[in-house]
Amino acid sequence: MSIFLNTRLGKNKLTPRQILSDPILFLAFGFGSGLAKKAPGTFGTVAAIPVYWLFAQSNFAIYSLLTVIVTLVGIPICDIAAKKLDEHDFGGIVWDEIAGYLITLWFVPFSWQAVILGFILFRFFDILKPWPIKWVDRQVHGGLGIMLDDVLAGIFAGVLLLWISAYF
C-alpha cells in the first residue's frame, strides 16, 4: 500500500509519472510530495523543511532574496500547473506551501523548536484560513490566487512565531 496517489490527476487525467517528469509540475507538486493520497498540503510543508534548512545556512539577505524568488516564481509555476491539470488550486499543487513555510520562518532565528512550531502554526493558518485568507482564497484566481492565501498564512504564522520567540 502506497501513501502516494496512483491515479490520474486533474481534469486532464495526468499520471504521477507525467507530473514527476515535467519540471514545472515536479516543482508545483513540491518535488513529488503533493502526490500524497491524504494531506498533500502537510506533505508539501514537510518538503519545505529541507529547503528552509538549506536557505537558513545563508545570511538574512540571501534567505530573504531566496524566499522572495521562491514566492514570485511560484505564481507562474502554480498557474501553469493548474492549466496543465485543468483544475484551479488542485490539492497536490504545494509550491505555495513551500513559500508560505519559508515566509513563516523568515524573521525568526534558526532553531529546531522554531522549525516545529512554525510548521504547526503555518498548517493551522493554512487549513483554517481565517479572514482575510479565506476571502483571498475564494476571490483571487490563477497562480496569484494559489500563492496568495499561503503567503498570508505564512505572514500570520510568522508574526505569531516571532511574538512567541520574543516572549518565550
- Rounded to 10°, the helix 95-104/142-167 angle is 30
> How is residue 33 annotated by DSSP?
G
Distance between CA atoms of residues 157 and 151, nearest Å: 10
Tens digits of per-residue pLDDT, 124-154?
999 999 999 999 989 999 999 999 999 999 9
Percent of the chain with pLDDT over 90: 83
In this model, does residue 4 exceed pLDDT 70?
Answer: no
**Could you tell me the pTM of the whole model?**
0.94
pLDDT in tens, 93-131: 999 999 999 999 999 999 999 999 999 999 999 999 999
pLDDT of 89 reads: 78
Q: How far apart are CA 165 and CA 95, in angstroms?
A: 26
Q: Over the stretch 57-97, which tens digit does the pLDDT of each residue have?
A: 999 999 999 999 999 999 999 999 999 998 887 899 999 99
Written as nine digits, the cell of 14 is 495526468
Q: Is the dihedral of CA 87, 138, 93, 124 positive or negative?
A: negative
Round the average pLDDT of the chain to a whole number and report it.
93
Longest dimension (CA), the chain: 49
CA gap 121, 114 in Å, rounded: 10
Cα(40)–Cα(35) distance, integer angstroms: 7
Distance (Å, rounded) from C-alpha 27 to C-alpha 60? 24
Nearest partner of 22 among 86, 101, 102, 84, judged by Cα: 84
- Where b means 16+ CB within 10 Å and e means fewer, 32-66 reads bbbbbeeebbbbbbbbbbebbeebbeeeeeebeee
